[in-house]
Amino acid sequence: MKFELGRCLLQEQLTAHGMSVEELARALRYKPERIADYIGSIRIMPLKVAISIADTIGCQAQDLYELIAEQSGSEGTDRAE
Protein backbone atom coordinates (compact mmCIF):
# COMPACT_ATOMS: atom_id res chain seq x y z
CA MET A 1 0.00 0.00 0.00
CA LYS A 2 1.25 3.46 -0.87
CA PHE A 3 1.07 6.33 1.63
CA GLU A 4 1.30 10.10 1.48
CA LEU A 5 2.53 12.15 4.42
CA GLY A 6 -0.11 14.23 6.09
CA ARG A 7 0.32 16.71 8.92
CA CYS A 8 3.45 16.55 11.06
CA LEU A 9 2.63 15.21 14.55
CA LEU A 10 5.96 16.06 16.16
CA GLN A 11 4.52 18.72 18.48
CA GLU A 12 1.88 16.29 19.72
CA GLN A 13 4.54 13.63 20.35
CA LEU A 14 6.74 16.11 22.20
CA THR A 15 3.81 17.14 24.40
CA ALA A 16 2.80 13.53 25.06
CA HIS A 17 6.34 12.66 26.12
CA GLY A 18 6.92 15.81 28.18
CA MET A 19 9.69 17.22 26.02
CA SER A 20 10.13 20.71 24.59
CA VAL A 21 11.43 21.69 21.17
CA GLU A 22 14.51 23.14 22.85
CA GLU A 23 15.22 19.91 24.76
CA LEU A 24 14.90 17.84 21.59
CA ALA A 25 17.13 20.23 19.65
CA ARG A 26 19.75 20.11 22.41
CA ALA A 27 19.66 16.30 22.59
CA LEU A 28 20.17 15.95 18.82
CA ARG A 29 22.41 19.00 18.39
CA TYR A 30 19.97 20.60 15.94
CA LYS A 31 18.93 24.22 15.89
CA PRO A 32 15.46 24.71 17.44
CA GLU A 33 14.46 26.48 14.22
CA ARG A 34 15.03 23.25 12.29
CA ILE A 35 12.70 21.36 14.63
CA ALA A 36 10.15 24.19 14.33
CA ASP A 37 10.37 23.87 10.52
CA TYR A 38 9.42 20.19 10.79
CA ILE A 39 6.53 21.00 13.13
CA GLY A 40 5.27 23.73 10.80
CA SER A 41 5.61 21.46 7.74
CA ILE A 42 8.10 23.87 6.20
CA ARG A 43 10.56 20.99 5.92
CA ILE A 44 9.92 17.24 5.65
CA MET A 45 12.02 15.11 7.99
CA PRO A 46 14.47 12.83 6.20
CA LEU A 47 14.11 9.21 7.32
CA LYS A 48 17.35 9.25 9.33
CA VAL A 49 16.23 12.37 11.18
CA ALA A 50 12.77 10.90 11.86
CA ILE A 51 14.36 7.75 13.30
CA SER A 52 16.69 9.82 15.50
CA ILE A 53 13.84 12.05 16.70
CA ALA A 54 11.57 9.07 17.41
CA ASP A 55 14.31 7.29 19.34
CA THR A 56 15.04 10.40 21.40
CA ILE A 57 11.37 11.07 22.18
CA GLY A 58 10.42 7.44 22.75
CA CYS A 59 7.99 6.82 19.90
CA GLN A 60 8.03 5.23 16.45
CA ALA A 61 9.06 7.12 13.30
CA GLN A 62 5.57 6.44 11.88
CA ASP A 63 4.09 8.38 14.81
CA LEU A 64 5.66 11.62 13.58
CA TYR A 65 3.31 12.15 10.61
CA GLU A 66 -0.28 11.44 9.70
CA LEU A 67 -0.17 8.68 7.11
CA ILE A 68 -2.75 8.88 4.35
CA ALA A 69 -3.35 5.70 2.37
CA GLU A 70 -3.62 6.34 -1.34
CA GLN A 71 -6.53 4.82 -3.19
CA SER A 72 -5.40 2.15 -5.62
CA GLY A 73 -7.12 1.03 -8.75
CA SER A 74 -8.64 3.15 -11.48
CA GLU A 75 -7.16 6.49 -10.51
CA GLY A 76 -7.76 8.95 -13.31
CA THR A 77 -9.62 6.55 -15.61
CA ASP A 78 -13.19 7.60 -14.82
CA ARG A 79 -13.03 11.16 -16.10
CA ALA A 80 -16.14 12.71 -17.58
CA GLU A 81 -15.40 14.77 -20.64
Residue 75 domain flag: no
> Could you read off the pLDDT of 16-59 as tens digits, one per residue?
999 999 999 999 999 999 999 999 999 999 999 999 999 999 99
Burial 13-41 (b: 16+ CB within 10 A, else e): bbeeeeeebebbbeeeebeeebbeebbee
As for how many domains the chain has, the answer is 1
Residue 76 domain flag: no
Residue 72: the pLDDT is 72
The pTM for the full model equals: 0.82
Q: Which domain holds residue 51?
A: 3-69
